[in-house]
Amino acid sequence: MSVEVQARCEVLRELLHAHNHAYHTLDAPTISDSEYDRLFQELLSLESRYPTLKTDDSPTQRIGAPPLKGFKQVQHERPMLSLDNAFNAQDISEFDKRVSERLQVEEVIYCAEPKIDGVAISLLYEQGRFVRAATRGDGLMGEDVTANVKTIDAVPLILQGSDYPVRLEVRGEIYLSKAVFESLNAGLIAAGEKPFANPRNAAAGSLRQLDSRLTAKRRLTMFAYSVGLVEGGGIADQHWDVMQQLKTWGFRINADIACVQGPAACQAYFERMAERRAELSYDIDGVVFKVNGLSEQQTLGLLTRTPRWAIAGKFPAAQGTTRVLEVVYQVGRTGAVTPVAKLQPVAVGGVTISNATLHNFDEIDRLGLQLGDTVVIERAGDVIPKVVRVVQTARDSAARPIEPPQVCPSCGSPLERREAAVVLRCLQGFICPAQQKERIRHFVSRLAMDIDGLGTKVVEQLLEAGVINNPADLFSVTVDELLTLERFAEKSANKLVASIAASKSTTLNRFIYALGIPEVGEATALALANHFGSLEGLMAADETALTEIPDVGPVVATALEAFFREPLNRQLLQQFQDLGVHWPVEVPLIAHELPLADQVWVITGTFSAFGRSELKDRLTALGAKVSGSISKKTSVLAAGEAAGSKLAKAEALRVEVMNEQTLIAMLEEME
C-alpha cells in the first residue's frame, strides 16, 4: 500500500464529510448526486482493498454493520430530563409567571422551537469525533445504538471547525419525514407486512434494529436541540447562540427556532406553529419553550426529572369527521367484549384511521350512536382513536340502533352482564379461543408465574400445534414436543422445559394473579393469599366472606365466586396440583395487624436495591395499599433516584417522603 493511496483516502473522507455537511445541514449541495456517488464508491473500493485504511468515522460506515446480539445499557453522564406540559394559554402564562417571579424580572426571553414527534437521542463526541449514541431510556440509563445512528446522514461523524469542546454531548430528536414514512409503509404493505401506525413508531422501530443495515435503509434524520455534557472547552451563554454553534459544527437545527419575549409572544408562536403544522415535512405535537439564558436556567434549577426553565406546549388532540360503517366485537383476556367501530377511513393527525374504540355499551348509549352515523373521532398521541360525539344533524333514515351481541363472537357461548358491571363478558375462560392465548400469555408473564423463554410466538406455536390447550398443559410439555416446532433446537428446548419446571415452585399470590381472574390484580391477589393462606380456603369462600377483605368489594367478590364455581376451572386447578405446581403453606394474616395496615403508599423513581414491582409486593405484604397517584390520602411517598413530578406534589401536600436508605432500614426491621 502506497503513501499516495493513504493520502487519497484521507482526501476522499474530508471531501465526503464536507459534501454531507453542505447537503444535510446547510441544505445547499455543492456537487451533483452522481459526482458524490463516484467519490463514495472510490473510497469504498479503496477501503475494501486496504482494510487497514478504514476508520470508524469514514462516510462508508453509514451503510451499516453486521447484526448485534443485543443493545448494551449506557448510563447518561447528565440525566436526560422530561418536560412538563402546557395544554392551553393559561398553562403557558402560569409557567411564565413562575419563571419571572423566580428570576425577579419583568419579562423573560425564551427560545422556542417545534416539538418534533420522534425519538430523543444523546450523541457523544470526543476530540470532534462521534463515539457513542444512546437512547433516552428512563433518563438515567439508555441503550447504546451507536451502530444504528452512524447510518444517519444528518449525524456528523466528524465535527466541522475547531472551536468545539474536547468532550461534547449533543441531544436531539431522530425522526422520519412524512414522505419517507409513507414510502416505508407502502413498501411494507406491498410485501404483505404490517405497516407502522405513525412516523414516531416507525422511527423508534428503525432505531432499535439489531441489524444496522436495516436502519440504514429507513432514511432516518435528526434535529439537534440542546447540549448536555461539555468538557474541555467553552459554550455560548444563550441557548439561541448554542444552537448556532451546533449548526456551525455540522448539526441540523430546526429552521423555525426563534426567540420570543413574554407569554403573549409565546402564545403567538404556538398558534403560528399550530397553523403551519400540516404543511411541515415532519410531524410535530407541540412547541418547546426554554429560558434562553443558560445562567438563568442554572438559577431556576430542576424538579427532580423536569427542568423549571422549560415547558412543552402540546397541541390539542387531532380530530376528524367520518362515518360508522359497522360495529365489531373484540374479546379480551378476561372475556370482556369491547365494541369497536369500523369507520370510513379518514386522515387524522397524519395517520389514516379506520377503527375507533367504543369501550362498552354504556358509552354507546351515552353517545346516542347508531350504525351509519357521522361521528367526530379524536386521536391523541399513541392513544387508540375514540369517538367523541355523534353529528346528530347528519343522521339519515338509514341509521339503525346498535344491538348488543347475545353470544361470544369467538366461541359462541352466551354472554353475561352482571349487575353493576358495564361490560359484557364471555365466561368460558380458557375454552374460548379469543381468551386462550392472552390468558396463557398472562399466566407465564413476569409478575405471574415468570416462565422465562415463553414469549408470544412460542405460546402461539404451542397452541397451533395442539401441544397445549390451557396453561396447566405447559407443565407436561416435553423436549421432544418442542423439537417438532420451528426454531427449536435441543439446547433451547431443554432450556425452556427446565424453566417451566423451575416455575412449579411459586407463591400463592403469584398463582392467584396468574389465573387471570377478572378484577383480580397483583395487590388483590396478595390480599387474598394473606387472608386465606391456602387455595382451598379461597375456593371455599362465598361472596360474604370475600367482601370481609379490605381490598375486595362486591364486584371483585362476584368475579371470584363465579370463577371458582365453574367446574372447568376447578378441574384446571386440580390439574395444576397434580402436575406439581406448589407454594409454601401460609399462615392466614389478619389485615389490621400488619405493620403498614391502613397506609396508602406511592412509589416513584429508580431504586438500586430492588425493582419497583418487587418493592410494591413487599409493601403490600406488610399491609400497605400501593397507589399510582399522590393525594391527601397518601401516607408515604417512596422516592428513589430521579423521582418525578410526584415528589413535587408530595412536598406540596406535605406527604411524608422516604428515600431508599430509610426505606431499606424500615423493611429490614418489619420483615
Burial class of residue 459, CB neighbours in 10 A (0-12, 13-18, 19+): buried
The residue to which cell 387472608 is assigned: 531
Backbone angles phi, psi at 334, to 5 degrees: -95, 10
SS3 335: coil
- Inter-residue contact 600 to 625 (CB < 8 Å): yes
Backbone angles phi, psi at 51, to 5 degrees: -55, -25
Distance CA 465, CA 481 (A): 9
Burial class of residue 70, CB neighbours in 10 A (0-12, 13-18, 19+): exposed
Backbone angles phi, psi at 472, to 5 degrees: -65, -30
Q: Nearest 10 degrees: CA dihedral of 234, 240, 245, 251? A: 130
Catalytic amino acids? Answer: 115
List CB contacts of 406: < 8 A, sequence separation 6 or more. Answer: 414, 415
List CB contacts of 654: < 8 A, sequence separation 6 or more. Answer: none
SS3 642: coil
Distance CA 118, CA 223 (A): 10
3-state SS of 224-292? EEEEEEEECCCCCCEHHHHHHHHHHCCCCCCCCCEEEEHHHHHHHHHHHHHHHHHHCCCCEEEEEEEEC
- Inter-residue contact 284 to 116 (CB < 8 Å): yes
Residue 640, C-alpha cell as written in the block? 428513589
Helix (H) or strand (E) holding 202: helix 199-207
